[in-house]
A and B are shown apart, each in its own frame.
Chain A
Amino acid sequence: MKPLEVFKVESPDEAGAEAYDSVIRDVLSDLELTTVLGRLWVEIDPVEPVFIFCTLIRTGLPPIRVRDVADVTLGTASSKQVILELTNEEYVPQLLGRLRMEYGHENIEQPDKKTMTITTEEMKEASESIADTVIADPRKEIEVRLADALLRITPEGFRVRHHVSTGSEMLFVASEDPIQPEWIKRAEEMMAELKEGIEMEVSGHA
């Protein structure tokens, strides 16, 4: 799935749909979500009134582990230290937080910008578990940003909401009146239609 390979904003009011198209593009680019979403289909009917938002999230963003941002080596046997040579400084705050929680504040040192040492009795085991420690999960962050984007895009008065969210898709229905079952049904149909192409793609590859 390419970024935003499907981008549909539909409404009986064409000028309104165009305006919402622009609002959605602006919000997605403000929150850096354009490359995260694969397909997006929004339907707005101001007369009903209902706002339906269906999207497929591009998967394939693995959690960041320590070994992705640093080379883990063992110090001398007498020093009882595990040494991390940082290769990517983007996740240093998360890394430090995680290590301090695990090994205690006093056992973590940073002699220079790109080096960290962890003092521990069981160096070998520690070096293996450190390398596998997850320090950041971009997918969780994306979920937070996507929820924020939805609140920004939805018409403000539409405060009655229904949403179904899994790791790879998000279905959202909002209105100012109680949510009607047919709106949810419509949203599910839209979601099924959005997914259709993907299954074909997969079977095509197979």
Chain B
Amino acid sequence: MLEPIMYEGGVFKHNLVIELIEDLGGYVLQTNYMQTEVMIQMLCPHEDVSMLEDLAKELRAKITRAPLTGTDIIVIAPTLAYHHLPHHSCDVAEYMRRQGANTTLIGLARGVGRRIAQISSKERALADEHDLALFTLGNFENCLMKEKYVLYKDIEVPCVITGTPELSTTPAYAKAYVGHLGRIAHRLRNEGEIGALDKLAEVVGTILDEQRLEISKDPLTTHPARLMKEIKEHIPEINKSLSPAPITLQLMGARVKLPYSQYKEAIENIEFEEGPKLGEIARVLPSGVRDYMLIRILPKSVTGFVI
């Protein structure tokens, strides 16, 4: 089993960490350089984590378990106006990022109000491309329980809602609700607010673990991280992408930040050393984000094998 881990330390000798992970059969998912600091997200085999810990200690770096690593979360605010941003929505997105998730933050075109709240089919399709949708809503119980469900009732991925009141029941159509995270016009830094963010991360982690368990009942033909490694090896253009995560891992596949129209065939023709081509074990679809492509790995029940 692969353990999701985040490494934070100096740039000095950090390549030793990357080499160690590759030698152990793990995967480096993302490397972010911040001047003299580096943050590496990786998947490390569970039994070898102690070796990584020893190396990190030697390099005076910090290692933490990041349960949301390798997941793609969309944070949805009713609009992009200053009522919701930057505090609350951005803080929630950033907190998910610190737990290892890749987050996308969007504001709906017409998500405001009660009776007038709407979501378009394009926005819904975009949400469905992710592993989980997080709606950052407002202050009133009546709105949360009786009106706002129209935004997420037709979304297929699990939806987590945040708002101010503590609700005894989860709003209809939502997977979970987290309170104390409604409309806030200051940076979330008070004790109760950080506590609410921690709870949100925990709730999201639990839901994603359930999803992982569900997937493991009919396992994917290959691990999304393996897919990422093969794409990086066969399509060198991906390294020219300026995005911090040119390949965004998801529970069921990945989003590749290359134009669909140009690279679809090249991606489908990637050959794994076990024999099959990528096109045989996964579907390559156009993504709703720009001209990117979305790869959905087929389960064992469809292909009949696991590599």
Where the two chains meet, the residues of A that have a C-beta atom closer than 8 Å to any C-beta of B are 11, 13, 15-16, 18-20, 22-23, 26-27, 30, 44, 46-47, 49, 152, 155-159, 176-177
Q: Select one of B81, B139, B185 contacting A26, CB under 8 A.
A: B185
Q: Select one of A46, A156, A176 contacting B83, CB under 8 A.
A: A156
Q: Does B115 contact A (CB under 8 A)?
A: yes
For A18, the chain B residues whose CB sits under 8 A away are 164
Chain A min CB distance to B194 (Å): 16
Q: Does B138 contact A (CB under 8 A)?
A: yes
Q: Which 6 residue pairs spanning A and B have beta carbons closest together?
A: A157-B113, A26-B185, A157-B112, A46-B140, A15-B165, A19-B139
Chain B min CB distance to A53 (Å): 15
Q: Select one of B78, B139, B185 contacting A15, CB under 8 A.
A: B139
For A46, the chain B residues whose CB sits under 8 A away are 114, 140, 142-143
Q: Does B122 contact A (CB under 8 A)?
A: no
A86–B115 Cα distance when bound, in Å, is 57
Q: Mark B170-206, 1 if CB is under 8 A from A, else 0.
A: 0000000000001111100000000000000000000
Q: Does B166 contact A (CB under 8 A)?
A: yes
A27–B184 Cα distance when bound, in Å, is 10
| Contact yes or no, B114 A23, CB < 8 A | no
Whether A49 contacts B114 in the complex (CB less than 8 A), given A13-B165, A15-B141, comes out as yes
A152–B84 Cα distance when bound, in Å, is 10
Chain A min CB distance to B92 (Å): 16
Of the listed residues A19, A30, A47, A159, the one surrounded by the most CB atoms of chain B closer than 10 A to its CB is: A19
Q: Does B12 contact A (CB under 8 A)?
A: no
Where the two chains meet, the residues of B that have a C-beta atom closer than 8 Å to any C-beta of A are 78-79, 81-84, 112-117, 138-143, 164-166, 182-186
Interface of B is mostly: loop
For A176, the chain B residues whose CB sits under 8 A away are 113-116
Give the total number of A-B pairs whose CB atoms are below 8 A apart.
Answer: 69
For A15, the chain B residues whose CB sits under 8 A away are 139, 141, 164-166
Q: Select one of B81, B82, B164, B184 contacting A16, CB under 8 A.
A: B164
| Contact yes or no, B115 A177, CB < 8 A | yes
For B166, the chain A residues whose CB sits under 8 A away are 15
For A158, the chain B residues whose CB sits under 8 A away are 113
For B115, the chain A residues whose CB sits under 8 A away are 176-177
For B139, the chain A residues whose CB sits under 8 A away are 13, 15-16, 19-20
For B141, the chain A residues whose CB sits under 8 A away are 13, 15-16
For A16, the chain B residues whose CB sits under 8 A away are 139-141, 164-165
For A13, the chain B residues whose CB sits under 8 A away are 139-142, 165
A-B contacts besides A19-B164, A44-B140, A156-B112, 16 pairs, CB < 8 Å: A11-B140, A13-B140, A13-B165, A15-B164, A16-B165, A19-B139, A23-B184, A26-B184, A30-B185, A46-B140, A46-B142, A152-B82, A155-B83, A156-B83, A158-B113, A159-B113
Chain B min CB distance to A101 (Å): 34
| Contact yes or no, A156 B114, CB < 8 A | no
For B142, the chain A residues whose CB sits under 8 A away are 13, 46-47
Of the listed residues B83, B84, B165, the one surrounded by the most CB atoms of chain A closer than 10 A to its CB is: B83
A11–B142 Cα distance when bound, in Å, is 12
| Contact yes or no, A155 B113, CB < 8 A | yes
A22–B81 Cα distance when bound, in Å, is 18
A155–B116 Cα distance when bound, in Å, is 13
Chain B residue with Cβ nearest A158: B113
Of the listed residues B82, B113, B182, B185, the one surrounded by the most CB atoms of chain A closer than 10 A to its CB is: B185
Chain A min CB distance to B246 (Å): 35
A50–B117 Cα distance when bound, in Å, is 16
| Contact yes or no, A156 B117, CB < 8 A | no
Of the listed residues B81, B84, B182, the one surrounded by the most CB atoms of chain A closer than 10 A to its CB is: B182
For B116, the chain A residues whose CB sits under 8 A away are 157, 176
Can you list 22 A-B contacts with CB-CB less than 8 angstroms, sorted by A residue number? A13-B139, A13-B140, A13-B165, A16-B139, A16-B140, A16-B164, A18-B164, A19-B164, A19-B182, A20-B183, A22-B184, A22-B186, A44-B140, A46-B114, A49-B114, A155-B83, A156-B78, A156-B79, A156-B83, A157-B116, A157-B117, A177-B115
A157–B117 Cα distance when bound, in Å, is 8
Chain A residue with Cβ nearest B82: A152
